[in-house]
C-alpha cells in the first residue's frame, strides 16, 4: 500500500519535470536525464519503501554539506565550527559573492552555502586532504550502510576544471584569513565530496541516521551525538534548501538538503529518512519534481514538524 502511494507520487510528479532544467554549469551534470524520478523511505521500524528510479545513481553535490558539517563537528567540536562558520540564513543564493560588510567573517556565512562548506573541510581531521576526504567518505558509507560509496571521477574532474566560482570563494576565505591551507587541496576535498555517487536509498539511510539523532537504526550503533545531530538538522531546517528554505518549510515542513545533482535528503526527526531524485532544477537549484514529491508525501503522511 505504501509502495503504491509512492508509485502514484512518482507518476503524478512527472508533470513538474518540464518546469525545471538540469544543471549545466558542470558539463557532466548536463547529461542527466530530466525524466528520471525516484523516491525511497526508511522508516522508524526499519521498513523500507520505494518507487521509480530509486536505484539510479547521481552525485551528492550539496547534499554532502550536512556530512561535511557533521564530520567537522565530530573532528573539531562545536566551538571551532561556530568560530569559523555561522548558522544564519544569508538571504542569498548558495554561490553568492555579496557580503554586506567589507570584511568577510564567519557571521556572514553558513554551512549550507559553498563558502561555509569549503571552510569546514579544513576542520576535518587528517594530515592531508586525501585523509580528510577519506574520513568524510567513511562517514557517508557508515551512515548509508553502503561500503561501496565512491567518487564519480569524471564529475570530480569536471568540477575541478570548471570550478571558477568555488575557487573565487575559497580565495576570498583565504584572503580574509579564514582558511590557511593550499586552496587547490581544500577544493580537491570539496569537489570529491560533491562527486560522491549515491542513490535514493543511500540518501534515505543517511537521513535516517540524522532523524534518529546519530543512532544507526540498522545496527544500534551511535555514530555521533544527539547534540551534533540536532546541530545539523536544525541548520537544514533554516538553510537547507538554499534561498528557497523558507518556502520549503511552509510547503513541506521538515528539514531537508538538496543538491544540483537532483537529489534531496529529507529528515523527519525521530521518524524516518527520505531520499528523492529528479534532475531538473528550479531557479534556486532545488529539484522541481523532488520538492513536489516531498510536498505530496507530506500531504499524504502528515510529515511536517510544524
**Is position 184 an interface residue for a second copy (rule: CB under 8 A)?**
no
What residues numbered 139-168 form the site for a second copy, per CB under 8 A? 164-165, 167-168
DSSP 3-state assignment of 5?
helix
The C-alpha atoms of residue 240 and residue 257 are separated, in whole angstroms, by 5
Q: Which distant-in-sequence residues (6+ apart) come within 8 Å of 170 by Cβ?
A: 118, 179, 183, 186, 187
HSE-CB for 92 with a 13 A CA cutoff: 15
C-alpha cell at 263: 537529489
Q: Is 209 a catalytic residue?
A: no
CA distance readout (Å), 180 to 31, 111, 171, 175, 258:
36, 18, 10, 9, 29
Which of 61, 90 has the CB closer to a second copy?
Answer: 90
Which of 31, 175 has the CB closer to a second copy?
Answer: 175
The number of helices, as runs of H, and strands, as runs of E, in the chain is 11, 7
Q: Rounded to the nearest whole angstrom, what is the least distance from the CB of residue 141 to a second copy in the complex?
A: 24
Region of 15-23, 152-160, 217-225, 229-237 interacting with a second copy (CB under 8 A): 229-237
Q: Is 242 a catalytic residue?
A: yes
The C-alpha atoms of residue 31 and residue 263 are separated, in whole angstroms, by 15
Size of the site for a second copy (CB under 8 A): 50
Residue 267: which of 258, 277, 278 has the closest Cα?
A: 258
Q: Rounded to the nearest whole angstrom, what is the least distance from the CB of residue 108 to a second copy in the complex?
A: 8
Which of 134, 234 has the CB closer to a second copy?
Answer: 234
Q: Is 190 a catalytic residue?
A: yes
What residues numbered 85-144 form the site for a second copy, per CB under 8 A? 86-93, 96-102, 104, 110
Q: Rounded to the nearest whole angstrom, what is the least distance from the CB of residue 301 to a second copy in the complex?
A: 14
DSSP 3-state assignment of 176?
coil
**Is position 169 an interface residue for a second copy (rule: CB under 8 A)?**
yes
The C-alpha atoms of residue 252 and residue 201 are separated, in whole angstroms, by 20
- Judged by CB under 8 A, which of 230, 271, 295, 301 binds a second copy? 230
**Is position 266 an interface residue for a second copy (rule: CB under 8 A)?**
no
Q: What is the largest CA-CA distance in the chain?
A: 56
Region of 31-39, 198-206, 235-243, 257-265 interacting with a second copy (CB under 8 A): 235-243
Q: Rounded to the nearest whole angstrom, what is the least distance from the CB of residue 110 to a second copy in the complex?
A: 7
Q: Rounded to the nearest whole angstrom, what is the least distance from the CB of residue 11 to a second copy in the complex?
A: 25
Contact of 287 with 281, CB cutoff 8 Å: yes
Q: What is the residue-wise DSSP string for 149-217?
A: --B-HHHHHHHHHH-HHHHHHHHHHHHTTS--S-HHHHHHHHHHHHTBEE-HHHHHHHHHHHHTTTB-T
**Is position 8 an interface residue for a second copy (rule: CB under 8 A)?**
no
Region of 3-11, 122-130, 195-203, 298-306 interacting with a second copy (CB under 8 A): 298-306
Residues known to be catalytic = 62, 65, 190, 242, 260
Residues lying near a second copy in the complex (CB under 8 A) are found at: 86-93, 96-102, 104, 110, 164-165, 167-172, 174-175, 183, 229-231, 233-235, 237-239, 243-247, 249-250, 253, 255, 269, 304-306
Amino acid at each position: 500500500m505504501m509502495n503504491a502511494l509512492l508509485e502514484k507520487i512518482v507518476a503524478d510528479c512527472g508533470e513538474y519535470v518540464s518546469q525545471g532544467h538540469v544543471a549545466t554549469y558542470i558539463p557532466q551534470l548536463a547529461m542527466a536525464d530530466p525524466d528520471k524520478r525516484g523516491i525511497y523511505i526508511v522508516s522508524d521500524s526499519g521498513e523500507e519503501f520505494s518507487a521509480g528510479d530509486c536505484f539510479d545513481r547521481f552525485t551528492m553535490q550539496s547534499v554532502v554539506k550536512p556530512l561535511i558539517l557533521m564530520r567537522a563537528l565530530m573532528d573539531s567540536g562545536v566551538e571551532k565550527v561556530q568560530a569559523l562558520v555561522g548558522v544564519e540564513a544569508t538571504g542569498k543564493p548558495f554561490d553568492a559573492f555579496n557580503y554586506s560588510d567589507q570584511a568577510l567573517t564567519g557571521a556572514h556565512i553558513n554551512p549550507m552555502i559553498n563558502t561555509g562548506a569549503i571552510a569546514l573541510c579544513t576542520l576535518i581531521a587528517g594530515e592531508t586532504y586525501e585523509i580528510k576526504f577519506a574520513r568524510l567518505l567513511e562517514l557517508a558509507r557508515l551512515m548509508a550502510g553502503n561500503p561501496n560509496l565512491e567518487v564519480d571521477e569524471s564529475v570530480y574532474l569536471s568540477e575541478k576544471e570548471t570550478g571558477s566560482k568555488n575557487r573565487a570563494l575559497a580565495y576570498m576565505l583565504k584572503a580574509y584569513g579564514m582558511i590557511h591551507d593550499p586552496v587547490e587541496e581544500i577544493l580537491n576535498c570539496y569537489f570529491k565530496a560533491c562527486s560522491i555517487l549515491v542513490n535514493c536509498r543511500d540518501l534515505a539511510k543517511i537521513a535516517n541516521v540524522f532523524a534518529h539523532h546519530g543512532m544507526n537504526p540498522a545496527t544500534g550503533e551511535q555514530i555521533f551525538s544527539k547534540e551534533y545531530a540536532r546541530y545539523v538538522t536544525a541548520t537544514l531546517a533554516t538553510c537547507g534548501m538554499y534561498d528557497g528554505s523558507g518556502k520549503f518549510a511552509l510547503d513541506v515542513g521538515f528539514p531537508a538538503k538538496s543538491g544540483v545533482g537532483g537529489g534531496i535528503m529529507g529528515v523527519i526527526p525521530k521518524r524516518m529518512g527520505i531520499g528523492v531524485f529528479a534532475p531538473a532544477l528550479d531557479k534556486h537549484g532545488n529539484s522541481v519534481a523532488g520538492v513536489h514529491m516531498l510536498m505530496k508525501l507530506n500531504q499524504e503522511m502528515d510529515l511536517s514538524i510544524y
